[in-house]
Structure 1
Amino acid sequence: MTKKILVVTNGFYPENSPRSFRATELAKELARKGHRVTVITHPRPGVATFCSQNGITFKSLGNLTWASPKVKGVGVIRLFTRIITRFSQLLLEYPKIQLVFLVKKALKTERGYDALISVAVPYPIHWGVASIWSKKIAKVWIADCGDPYMGQENDSFKPLFYFGWVEKWFCKKVDYLTVPTENSIGGYYSQFHPKIKVIPQGFRFEDIQLYQGEKDNSKLVFGYAGMFIPGRRDPSEFLQFLNSLSSAIPFEFHIYTTTPQFVLPYIKNTSRIVLKDLVPREKLLYELSKMNFLVNFENVGNTQTPSKLIDYLIVDKPVLSIKYGQLNEAVVAAFLKNDYTSQMVLPDKNNYRIENVAAKFVALIP
């Protein structure tokens, strides 16, 4: 039966981020299955054309206009501006808190949907829906969450206590909370666990082109794609070990990241650790599919699962998983000899097929 579905999201095509992929792939598949899909998101270049080509109705959320504090200056001045920037985020969720007002305004005239799916992060997307939510907008509200908010384990700082009241406020209003893994459930207040449904990230595998040519056997090439977090998803021990290896060992470690500052100190005297420019996801998967194996830097705790593991699963390569503070040099050495006995065990690929993921969302709609 055809459903009328509204998706509200900060991240969407052509943004290159895990939550953008989540919202974009879901909207495309829902429309492909014949549902009437409307997406409210920022008016990025090309988004209206993309939606039209995929049978999606696009409505503008407006742009984020509140200026982000900038880290600038040197010495004490730079330290001061860094503190101001960080505390504006911690105390007020500034500038992303503007999303509350943008979402509330965008939903004022929306009525008669079978379902509203709000996609976070950032969580002010959910808060904006909660500020105006009524069953006149939709029969059911599904709040799709990536990493937990109050229960997050891998940021340098926890959200301040009063945001717990905000989380409980919005969770009371929502009909369902969807999370990517069973482990994610522990990141939410226990009274809302009955509302939680596990729905993994999803992709249309048929749209992904992988490398089919011959591999270069003159050197071992492995890679990582994702951000780094000091003391958590931290590459320092691994990079130090790679730099300690004999120059006679032919390898290249290719790194695609938005946090290159945690890699730069380790590449000054080597050409074997290579920082790469960021590329669109389709191109990234193609490049990763050329490699011998891939690297995962583990999060702290169990509630947050790196979305890159789904990409690794799609390209079907052995995965070397590194836990900060517990580097197993023997396992790394084995991987460098094409011995993947200790590779990370990944789940069934079919869990992440977008057709299966979309069906789980539709099953929640009355």
Structure 2
Amino acid sequence: MSKKILLVSNGFYPENSPRSFRATELAKELVRQGNQVTVVTHPRQGVETFCQQHGIKFKSLGNLTWAEPTIKGSGVVRLFWRIIVRMSLLLFEYPKIQLVFLVKKALKNETGYDALISIAVPYPIHWGVARIWSKKIAKVWIADCGDPYMGQENDTFKPAFYFKWVEKWFCKKADYLTVPTEKSINGYYPEFHSKIKVIPQGFRFEDVQLFTGEKDNSKIVFGYAGMFIPGRRDPSEFLEFINTVESDKPFEFHIYTTTPQFVQPYIKNNGRVILKELVPRDKLLFELSKMDFMVNFENVGNTQTPSKLIDYLIIEKPVLSIKYGDLNKQAVHQFLKADYTQKMLLPDRELYRIENVASKFTALIP
């Protein structure tokens, strides 16, 4: 039976981010399964045409207009602006806090839906829904969460303590909280665990074009796509090692990242560490599919699971998992000899088929 679904998200096509992929793929598949889907998001270039092509109704969330503080200058001045940027985020969730007001305004005239699905991060998306939420808007509110907020383990600093009450406030109002893995549940307050449903990230595998040509076997090529976090998802130990390790074959480590500053000190004349330009996800997967294996830099704790592992599953490449502070040099040596016996164990690919993911969402709708 067709459902009328309202989806609210900060990230959506054509933005290149995990939460944008989450919202975009889900909206497309919900329509394919016969539902009426309205997406409330920012009016980015091309988004209206995209929605028309896929049978999605688009409504504007408006633009984020509050000025974002930036790091500038050098020396003491640069340090000052680093503190300002960090404190703005930690103490006030600035400038994303503007989403609370944008979401409330965008939803004030919305009524009669079977379900409202709000997608975070950032969490002010959920807070905006909570400000205006009533059963007049929809029969059920599903708050879809990526990484935990107060329970996150991989940022250098946690949000200010008073956001604990903000998180509990919106969790009380939501009918369901959806998280990507079972381990994610521990990142949320125990009193809300009964509301939590595990729904992984989803993609339509048939849309992914992979490399089918003949591989160049004269060298070993491996890759990583994602951000780095010093002291946590930290590449320094691994990069230092591969710059000095002996290998029977020449090799190249290709890195696609939004945090190149943690890679640049390790780029040497030997050509082993190569920074690549950021590319759209479809092109990225095609490029990664040419490689011999992938690298994963482990998070601290287990409540956050890197979304890139799903991409590695789709391209069906062995994964070398690196833990900062405990580098398994033997495993690195083995991978460089095409011995993947210590490869990371990944879940069943079928869990991430968008058809199955969308069905898990609709199963929550009365």
Structure 1-normalised TM-score? 0.99
Aligned counterpart, 1:189: 189
Q: Deviation per CA, 1:25-45: give whole Å up to 9, x if none.
A: 000000111100000000000
SS at match of 1:143: strand
Aligned counterpart, 1:95: 95
Percent identity reads 80
Aligned counterpart, 1:75: 75
CA contact (8 A) 2:187 2:303 kept: yes
Aligned counterpart, 1:272: 272
SS at match of 1:343: coil
Q: Deviation per CA, 1:276-310: give whole Å up to 9, x if none.
A: 00000000000111000000000000000000000
RMSD: 0.8
Aligned counterpart, 2:326: 326
Q: Deviation per CA, 1:231-268: give whole Å up to 9, x if none.
A: 00000000000111248640000000000000000003
Q: Report the CA distance between 1:70 and its aligned residue.
A: 1.2
User: Structure 1 residue 172 and structure 2 residue 172: aligned?
Assistant: yes
Q: Deviation per CA, 1:111-160: give whole Å up to 9, x if none.
A: 00000000000000000000000000000000000000000000010111
Aligned counterpart, 1:122: 122
Q: Deviation per CA, 1:315-349: give whole Å up to 9, x if none.
A: 00000000000001111000000000000000000
Q: Report the CA distance between 1:211 and its aligned residue.
A: 0.4
Distance 2:249 2:305 in 1: 32
Aligned counterpart, 1:134: 134
SS at match of 2:287: helix
SS at match of 1:121: coil
Distance 2:87 2:42 in 1: 26
Q: Report the CA distance between 1:85 and its aligned residue.
A: 1.0
- Give the aligned residue type for 1:144: D
Structure 2-normalised TM-score? 0.99
- Give the aligned residue type for 1:143: A
Distance 1:123 1:22 in 2: 15
- Give the aligned residue type for 1:229: I
SS at match of 1:37: strand
Aligned counterpart, 1:158: 158
Distance 2:246 2:297 in 1: 23
Unpaired segments ≥5 residues, structure 1:
none
Q: Report the CA distance between 1:73 and its aligned residue.
A: 1.0
Aligned counterpart, 1:65: 65
Distance 2:331 2:203 in 1: 31
CA contact (8 A) 2:185 2:196 kept: yes
Q: Report the CA distance between 1:14 and its aligned residue.
A: 0.2
Aligned counterpart, 1:35: 35
Q: Deviation per CA, 1:94-121: give whole Å up to 9, x if none.
A: 0000000000000000000000000000
Distance 2:325 2:249 in 1: 25
The alignment of Structure 1 onto Structure 2 pairs a total of residues equal to 366
User: Structure 1 residue 51 and structure 2 residue 45: aligned?
Assistant: no
Aligned counterpart, 2:254: 254
SS at match of 1:333: helix
Aligned counterpart, 2:203: 203
Aligned counterpart, 1:213: 213
Distance 2:78 2:200 in 1: 41
Q: Report the CA distance between 1:172 and its aligned residue.
A: 0.3
Counting only pairs closer than 5 Å after superposition, residues 329-340 of structure 1 correspond to structure 2 as 329-340=329-340
SS at match of 1:131: helix
SS at match of 2:243: helix
Q: Could you tell which deviates more after superposition, 269-278 or 289-298? A: 269-278
Distance 1:301 1:139 in 2: 36
User: Structure 1 residue 287 and structure 2 residue 287: aligned?
Assistant: yes
SS at match of 2:224: strand
CA contact (8 A) 2:218 2:249 kept: no
Unpaired segments ≥5 residues, structure 2:
none
Distance 1:273 1:87 in 2: 34
Distance 2:151 2:302 in 1: 11
Distance 1:317 1:70 in 2: 38
Q: Deviation per CA, 1:61-91: give whole Å up to 9, x if none.
A: 0000001001111111111111111101111
CA contact (8 A) 2:62 2:102 kept: yes
Distance 2:330 2:321 in 1: 13
